Structure formats: structure tokens, C-alpha cells
């Protein structure tokens, strides 16, 4: 599995409205080689880029994403909350976002983000779109979503996301047949990484916004970091 060292979080990190095409374009213009974004299903089963289960924080819409069809979701403004200069950005579909990544030469980590109770169908819906594209890694906190994604796109590499060190990461990866771990950066130490690195499982860390922390992680053998500030680091890529 290939990992860019610097991966812009939620498309363009803090430099653009999250999970938008504007973010992808900004990441590419900065010289970023990789991006991460979140994909959730609309009511009619279309994966769209959004982080929260509800629309309020990042769009002009209201209520749960899963309650509305994609045509309606796309009418909302997903840019103005960040800055008026981004007014008119809409919620991209996953297919649109991956097509733009392809044009821009961006490696993409699609984080499968199921609404509550929709794990399996979100895994399937994301996989069916993502399998048409190259240079894609699927990830999720949801083992069920990851396993169902494998049934529809077994050839795409998959990573398990973890936010705690309860349980055995190695065993968790084995259970879902994931080939990499994406972990909260503060969990990563020489000891927690050792079994994974010895078995050649790449590890990526989220969300790393300080240079000294990125340096610590790279020295430990972490393959890539997800960051909100790719602009801080790309000038002299670490």
C-alpha cells in the first residue's frame, strides 16, 4: 500500500470548506499528493461527502443527511460557513470527488462514514463507486462497513480507523482483513506500533497539526499523517 506522507484532512484541511471540491483543488495547488474525506449515504443511497450526520454545521441545510435524496442535498451551500468566497460550493457526490482526484493526480482515502444503523449499506454504496477509481484506500471506524465494502470491492485496500487503544489492534485488523491502521496520533508509541510495523502493516495518524508531532511520528515509522494544515509542511515536504 502506498501512502503520501502529508494527507490533507477533509479534502483541503482548514484552508477550504471541509469535504468540498474546492478543498481538493486547494490541496492539489499546494502540492499535496493525498487527501482524505468522509462519505455518507443520501436517502436514495448515493454517497456524498460530509462528516456529520446532520447538515447544520457545514451546510445551509437542516436535519439528517440520511433523510434527504441527493438532488435535495446538492441544493445546499456547503461553502459559506467557511468563508463567503466559497459560497456556492455544494456537497459533492463521491463519484465527482474521485473523478476530480483522478484529474488532479491525488491519492484518496475515502472514509466510510455511516449514519447510525447504516453501516453495511454505506460500506457497499461507497465500495461500488470507489472500485471504478485507482489510487483509493477505503477506511472506517465501523468494522461492519469495512467488511461489507470488501464484499463489493475486495481489490481496494482497506484500513481500520481506531480512536482508542483498548483491544488488540493486530487482532482487529485481522478480523476485518484490513491492510493498514489509521489511528489517533496520540495513541502511537514505539510499543503500540511495534507489532504492526514488524508485520508490515502501514500506519497513518490523524489529525496532526503540529510539526514536532509529525516529526515524532515519522521517526517512529508512521507512513503518513492527516493534517488540517498541509500548507505548513509542503514547502519542504517532510
Alpha carbons within 13 angstroms on the beta-carbon side of residue 43 total 12
Q: Which of residues 1-40 bind ligand G3P (CB under 6 A)?
A: 9, 36, 38
Q: Which residue is nearest to Mg ion (CB)?
A: 111
Write down the least CB distance from residue 140 to ligand G3P, Å. Answer: 9
Write down the least CB distance from residue 214 to Mg ion, Å. Answer: 18
Q: Is 182 annotated in the active site?
A: no
Residue 206 site contact among ligand G3P, Mg ion, none (CB < 5 to 8 Å, cut-off depends on kind): ligand G3P
Residue 148 site contact among ligand G3P, Mg ion, none (CB < 5 to 8 Å, cut-off depends on kind): none
Cα 221 to Cα 98, 188, 189: the distances in Å are: 28, 10, 10
Write down the least CB distance from residue 32 to ligand G3P, Å. Answer: 15
> Is residue 182 a contact point for ligand G3P (CB under 6 A)?
yes
Residue-wise burial string across 204-225, b where 16 or more C-beta atoms lie within 10 A, e elsewhere: bbbbbbeeebbebbbebebbbb
C-alpha cell at 164: 482508542
C-alpha cell at 180: 493498514
Write down the least CB distance from residue 111 to ligand G3P, Å. Answer: 4
Grid cell 499523517 is found at 225
SS3 content of the chain, % helix, strand, coil (to 5): 40, 20, 40
> Given the complex with Mg ion, which of 111 and 228 has the nearer CB atom?
111
Q: Which of residues 138-157 bind ligand G3P (CB under 6 A)?
A: 139
**Cα 187 from Cα 189, distance rounded (Å):** 6
Question: What distance lies between CA 217 and its chain's CA centroid?
Answer: 19
Q: Is 51 annotated in the active site?
A: yes
Task: Out of 32, 78, 111, 147, point to the residue binding ligand G3P (CB under 6 A).
Answer: 111
Binding site for ligand G3P (CB under 6 A): 9, 36, 38, 51, 111, 139, 161, 182, 206, 226
Q: What are the residue numbers of the active site?
A: 9, 51
Amino acid at each position: 500500500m502506498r501512502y503520501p506522507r502529508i494527507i490533507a484532512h477533509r479534502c483541503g484541511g482548514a484552508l477550504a470548506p471541509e469535504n468540498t471540491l474546492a478543498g481538493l483543488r486547494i490541496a492539489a495547488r499546494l502540492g499535496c499528493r493525498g487527501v482524505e474525506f468522509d462519505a455518507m449515504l443520501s436517502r436514495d443511497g448515493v454517497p456524498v461527502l460530509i462528516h456529520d450526520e446532520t447538515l447544520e454545521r457545514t451546510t445551509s441545510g437542516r436535519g439528517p443527511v440520511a433523510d434527504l435524496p441527493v438532488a435535495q442535498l446538492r441544493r445546499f451551500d456547503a461553502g459559506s460557513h467557511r468563508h463567503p468566497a466559497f459560497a456556492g460550493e455544494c456537497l459533492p457526490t463521491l463519484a465527482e470527488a474521485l473523478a476530480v482526484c483522478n484529474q488532479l493526480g491525488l491519492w484518496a482515502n475515502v472514509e466510510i462514514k455511516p449514519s447510525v444503523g447504516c453501516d453495511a449499506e454505506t460500506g457497499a454504496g461507497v465500495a461500488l463507486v470507489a472500485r471504478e477509481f485507482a489510487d483509493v484506500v477505503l477506511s472506517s471506524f465501523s468494522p461492519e462497513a469495512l467488511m461489507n465494502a470488501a464484499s463489493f470491492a475486495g481489490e481496494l485496500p482497506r484500513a481500520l480507523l481506531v480512536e482508542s487503544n483498548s483491544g488488540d489492534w493486530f487482532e482487529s485488523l485481522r478480523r476485518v482483513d484490513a491492510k493498514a491502521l489509521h489511528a489517533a496520533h496520540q495513541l502511537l508509541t514505539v510499543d503500540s506500533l511495534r507489532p504492526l510495523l514488524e508485520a508490515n502493516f502501514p500506519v497513518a495518524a490523524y489529525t496532526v497539526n503540529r510539526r514536532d508531532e509529525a516529526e515524532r511520528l515519522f521517526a517512529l515509522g508512521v507512513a503518513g499523517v492527516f493534517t488540517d494544515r498541509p500548507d505548513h509542511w509542503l514547502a519542504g515536504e517532510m
